[in-house]
């Protein structure tokens, strides 16, 4: 049956809400990024990458490189001097991996730094880097998760801690055996790289009295500070890290990079500021990435359409030197009320830099596999995929037995299906055609992401001039944390948004916890709001008003009260931590260590939820897949800043389209490393690939979680987009594709 696009298009929700406070500077090019530093006297560094995948450096000839005009020094493991490891973020340390190049002749992965040239100009540094002649002793290596020598090992045995253990409820094996309907399917996801627009760049500078300043885009300024202090053997008080604006983080900038200490060492040795800007290709090989994963999902359902059993097994790639844990079943165990659940994760060592977090690092792959299988089950049962999901909703977490702090997934599905026009969908595959003959497919999938919170200390200061200064832990990666903070403070103090100056990503302003895991808003905003309220209360009290009165009770703004008091300024502070966290957690915060809590809290579990509805159109001859429209409804608690929240979801949807149809980092197993390490061959969705994206929110605050009722949005936005697309492709064609990204040839095979 043909369905005309015109009749099902939903009206675009109006773009209400406040603007982005940093937009004007960005579009004018006024925002300064680390790589923009071009002051006189700056020296420039360039890295020399390893051309083998594993082994060691046996000789380095730097003579030709030294002869390039303007070259100051070629640093190698032989002359750089000793420096300490910064450790691994998931192992008590500070870095995305435990391996720090040039500490030895060891080569752990292709593209690893084996030397660094410092010169007067970037051109000289790069020319010289190409002339460094390295001799290696190569040893056998494992390039991919599927290599013959790859050996999956149980994560529960490798990392014997409760948070990495198998996830169990009931008896999944027995329940699966007794189930009337079963699905058993395997899914594959490739390596991907985050590819933020801003490449990682580091500027290191020492003051005359031995204080090191690092300007580097990072989501974790405090880990860079403490990690470098450890590596260089100096007091953390002697290191300042500045990351005021980050041109996209997505997990790639979430901790100490392996090269940062080298830049600091070079700067100290040469008594000049030194800048290193990685190339895009080096970014593929010297920072983290999304590991490849393999999933097997088994589902059991009864005749009434209830899911009774699920077993989700995941193999995920890690490096030889670190165990980057997998956590995909954290959300698949919570999407539905499946009383018998078993989640089992294994890790596969390969010779790469340590993989890490990339937007919805575990949740996107896990949801692709699980939500594809759920769709397969809906079809096995002959149930509508939305109705099937609604029938399996739950108010209680099957794993912990606790209630959810709030859960509006059913509302996301209901609101979404109504706005999308889902009722007009015909169930049978290949049953909807467009007037031009294209196959139309409509798919749905759900997503969840933990609602985590980290400790934070916020300070708000108001000057009689009207300027408000806010300092708090947090990093602006483009997601809009400055806008959310500005809106919150302006509302409480009755101040114009433009009067609020925000210091984030600066280790001298406030302790800077890692901003990741979608906890930025729930972490920074409640203490900012409380500090502003305290300031207001204090001003009102001094003005003779009642303590605790609502800030805007009589319409007086904070600055009017301050001026009336005759004081030059007023300030207030607030410290907050997650529910159930002890006071000592502030020690981890100030020590640069991860200190976030959730999703399991003492009295509840907390997740954000989302439902995605996708239309695909597939050209019948070439099988070209287009995605003319996506509609997503999110339950993220309070929406703190509507415009940036909407933008987050649009971005997540674009990432999902990329994940389903475009992105993969290719490996040649003979050589290791990544082949398509540039933006020409790492294929991303472009504007022409994106149709209409409609975004809506449930908008119900979650007051059990924190005073502002915010959960988190950045990552849940992407979770479930890929399976919704793949489910739509099944609906359009009758073909179940279980490997990402989808290729035309997968649809052409009969």
Active-site residue set:
715
Which CB atom, from 75 or from 357, has the smaller least distance to ligand MOS?
357
| Region near ligand MOS per CB under 6 A, out of 180-188, 246-254, 401-409, 739-747 | 246-254
Which CB atom, from 136 or from 250, has the smaller least distance to ligand MOS?
250
Which CB atom, from 319 or from 438, has the smaller least distance to ligand MOS?
319
Q: How far is the CB of 529 from ligand MOS (least distance, A)?
A: 23
Residues 422-461 contacting ligand MOS, CB under 6 A? none
How many angstroms separate the CA atoms of 476 and 65, rounded? 39
Do 538 and 570 contact (CB within 8 A), yes or no? yes
How many angstroms separate the CA atoms of 527 and 512, rounded? 14
Q: Which of 240, 383, 220 is nearest to 287 (CA)?
A: 220
Which CB atom, from 416 or from 658, has the smaller least distance to ligand MOS?
658
Is 168 exposed, middle or buried, given 0-12, 13-18 or 19+ CB atoms closer than 10 A?
middle
How do strand 456-463 and strand 569-576 relate by DSSP bridges? antiparallel
Considering only residues 49, 244, 249, 455, which one is a binding residue for ligand MOS as defined by CB under 6 A?
249
In order of 188, 361, 681, the CA distances from 317 in angstroms are 12, 12, 22
Structure tokens, 376: 């397969």
Which CB atom, from 361 or from 474, has the smaller least distance to ligand MOS?
361
Q: Which of 268, 437, 276, 293 is nearest to 360 (CA)?
A: 293
How many angstroms separate the CA atoms of 740 and 191, rounded? 10
Q: How far is the CB of 356 from ligand MOS (least distance, A)?
A: 8
Considering only residues 101, 196, 248, 251, which one is a binding residue for ligand MOS as defined by CB under 6 A?
251
Residues 196-235 contacting ligand MOS, CB under 6 A? 219
The CA angle 611-730-656, to the nearest 5 degrees, is 45
Q: How far is the CB of 518 from ligand MOS (least distance, A)?
A: 7
Sheet with 468-471: list strands edge to edge. 500-503, 468-471, 456-463, 569-576
Structure tokens, 268: 């100290």
Considering only residues 254, 293, 317, 350, which one is a binding residue for ligand MOS as defined by CB under 6 A?
254
Comparing every residue's Cβ against ligand MOS, the nearest one is 251
How many angstroms separate the CA atoms of 448 and 128, rounded? 49
The CA angle 265-271-274, to the nearest 5 degrees, is 60
Which CB atom, from 245 or from 254, has the smaller least distance to ligand MOS?
254
Q: How far is the CB of 60 from ligand MOS (least distance, A)?
A: 35
Binding mask 654-683 for ligand MOS (x = CB under 6 A): ------------------------------
Binding mask 470-509 for ligand MOS (x = CB under 6 A): ----------------------------------------
Number of residues this chain uses to bind ligand MOS (CB under 6 A): 11
Which CB atom, from 346 or from 359, has the smaller least distance to ligand MOS?
359
Q: How far is the CB of 355 from ligand MOS (least distance, A)?
A: 11
CA 211 to chain centre: 31
Which CB atom, from 179 or from 516, has the smaller least distance to ligand MOS?
516
Q: How far is the CB of 515 from ligand MOS (least distance, A)?
A: 7
Binding mask 340-379 for ligand MOS (x = CB under 6 A): -----------------xxx-x------------------
Q: How far is the CB of 254 from ligand MOS (least distance, A)?
A: 5
Q: How far is the CB of 714 from ligand MOS (least distance, A)?
A: 7
Q: Does 594 bind ligand MOS (CB under 6 A)?
A: no
Structure tokens, 572: 């207030």
Considering only residues 68, 381, 486, 516, which one is a binding residue for ligand MOS as defined by CB under 6 A?
516
Considering only residues 517, 656, 673, 741, which one is a binding residue for ligand MOS as defined by CB under 6 A?
517
| Region near ligand MOS per CB under 6 A, out of 17-25, 181-189, 250-258, 607-615 | 250-258
Q: How far is the CB of 251 from ligand MOS (least distance, A)?
A: 3
Which CB atom, from 355 or from 361, has the smaller least distance to ligand MOS?
361
How do strand 239-242 and strand 212-215 relate by DSSP bridges? parallel
Secondary structure of residue 17 in the 3-state scheme: coil
Q: How far is the CB of 572 from ligand MOS (least distance, A)?
A: 30
Q: SS in 3 state form for 461-494? A: EEECCCCEEEECCCCCCCCCHHHHHHHHHHHHHC
Which CB atom, from 196 or from 685, has the smaller least distance to ligand MOS?
196
DSSP class per residue in 402-452: PBBS---HHHHHHHHHHHHTGGG--SSTT--B-TTS-EEEEEEEEEEEE--
Structure tokens, 207: 């003051």
Is 586 exposed, middle or buried, given 0-12, 13-18 or 19+ CB atoms closer than 10 A?
middle
Secondary structure of residue 211 in the 3-state scheme: coil
| Region near ligand MOS per CB under 6 A, out of 249-257, 555-563, 649-657, 675-683 | 249-257
Q: Residue numbers of the site for ligand MOS (CB under 6 A)?
A: 219, 249-251, 254, 357-359, 361, 516-517
């Amino acid at each position: 049956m043909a369905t005309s696009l015109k009749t099902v298009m939903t009206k675009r929700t109006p773009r209400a809400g406040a603007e982005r406070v940093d937009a004007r500077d960005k579009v004018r090019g006024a925002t300064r990024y680390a790589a923009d530093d071009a002051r006189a006297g700056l020296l420039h560094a360039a890295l020399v990458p390893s051309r083998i995948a594993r082994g060691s450096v046996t000789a380095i000839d730097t003579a030709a490189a030294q002869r390039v005009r303007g070259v100051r020094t070629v640093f190698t493991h032989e002359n750089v001097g000793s420096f300490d490891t910064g450790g691994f973020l998931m192992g008590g340390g500070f870095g995305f991996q435990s391996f720090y190049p040039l500490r030895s002749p060891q080569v752990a992965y292709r593209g690893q730094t084996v030397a660094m040239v410092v010169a007067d100009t970037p051109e000289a540094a790069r020319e010289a880097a190409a002339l460094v002649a390295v001799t290696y002793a190569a040893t056998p290596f494992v390039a991919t998760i599927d290599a013959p020598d790859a050996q999956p090992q149980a994560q529960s045995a490798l990392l014997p801690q409760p948070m990495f253990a198998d996830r169990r409820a009931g008896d999944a094996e027995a329940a699966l055996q007794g189930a009337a309907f079963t699905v058993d399917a395997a899914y594959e996801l490739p390596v991907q790289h985050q590819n933020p627009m801003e490449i990682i760049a580091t500027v290191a500078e020492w003051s005359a009295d031995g204080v090191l300043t690092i300007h580097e885009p990072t989501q974790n300024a405090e880990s860079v500070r403490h990690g470098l202090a450890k590596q260089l053997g100096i007091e953390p008080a002697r290191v300042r890290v500045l990351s005021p604006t980050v041109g996209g983080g997505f997990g790639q900038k979430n901790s100490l990079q392996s090269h940062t200490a080298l830049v600091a060492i070079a700067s100290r040795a040469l008594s000049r500021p030194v800048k290193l800007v990685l190339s895009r290709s080096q970014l593929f090989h010297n920072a983290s990435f999304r590991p490849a994963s393999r999933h097997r999902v088994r589902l059991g359902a009864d005749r009434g359409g209830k899911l009774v059993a699920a077993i989700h097994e995941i193999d995920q790639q890690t490096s030889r030197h670190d165990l980057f844990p997998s956590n995909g079943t954290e959300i698949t165990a919570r999407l539905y009320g499946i009383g018998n659940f078993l989640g089992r994760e294994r890790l596969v060592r390969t010779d790469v830099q340590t993989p890490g977090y990339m937007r919805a690092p575990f949740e996107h792959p896990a949801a692709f596999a699980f939500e594809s299988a759920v769709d397969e089950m809906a079809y096995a049962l002959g149930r509508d995929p939305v109705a099937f999901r609604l029938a399996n909703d739950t108010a209680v977490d099957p794993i912990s037995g606790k209630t959810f702090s709030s859960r509006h997934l059913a509302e996301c599905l209901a609101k979404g299906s109504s706005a999308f026009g889902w009722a007009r969908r015909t169930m049978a595959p290949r049953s909807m055609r467009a007037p031009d003959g294209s196959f139309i497919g409509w798919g749905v999938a759900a997503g969840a992401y933990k609602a985590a919170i980290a400790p934070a200390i916020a300070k708000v200061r108001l000057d009689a001039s009207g300027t408000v200064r806010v300092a708090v832990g947090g990093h602006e990666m483009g997601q809009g944390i400055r806008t959310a903070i500005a809106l919150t403070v302006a509302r409480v103090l009755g101040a114009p948004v433009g009067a609020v100056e925000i210091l984030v990503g600066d280790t001298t302003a406030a302790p800077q916890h890692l901003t990741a895991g979608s906890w930025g808003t729930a972490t920074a905003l409640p203490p900012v709001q409380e500090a502003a309220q305290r300031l207001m209360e204090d001003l009102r009290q001094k003005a003779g008003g009642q303590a605790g009165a609502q800030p805007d009770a009589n319409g007086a703004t904070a600055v009017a009260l301050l001026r009336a008091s005759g004081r030059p300024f007023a300030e207030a502070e607030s410290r907050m931590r997650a529910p159930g966290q002890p006071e000592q957690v502030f020690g981890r915060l100030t020590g640069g260590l991860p200190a976030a809590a959730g999703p399991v809290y003492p009295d509840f579990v907390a997740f954000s939820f989302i439902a995605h509805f996708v239309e695909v159109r597939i050209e019948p001859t070439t099988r070209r897949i287009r995605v003319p429209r996506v509609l997503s409804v999110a339950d993220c608690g309070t929406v703190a800043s509507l415009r940036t929240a909407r933008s987050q979801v649009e971005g997540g949807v674009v990432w999902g389209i990329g994940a389903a149809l475009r992105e993969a980092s290719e490996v040649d197993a003979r050589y290791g490393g990544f082949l398509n390490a540039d933006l020409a061959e790492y294929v991303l969705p472009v504007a022409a690939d994106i149709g209409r994206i409609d975004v809506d929110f449930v908008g119900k605050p979650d007051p059990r979680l924190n005073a502002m009722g915010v959960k988190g949005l950045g990552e849940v936005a992407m979770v479930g987009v890929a399976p919704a697309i793949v489910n739509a492709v099944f609906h359009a064609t009758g073909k179940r594709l279980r490997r990402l990204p989808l290729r035309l040839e997968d649809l052409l095979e009969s």
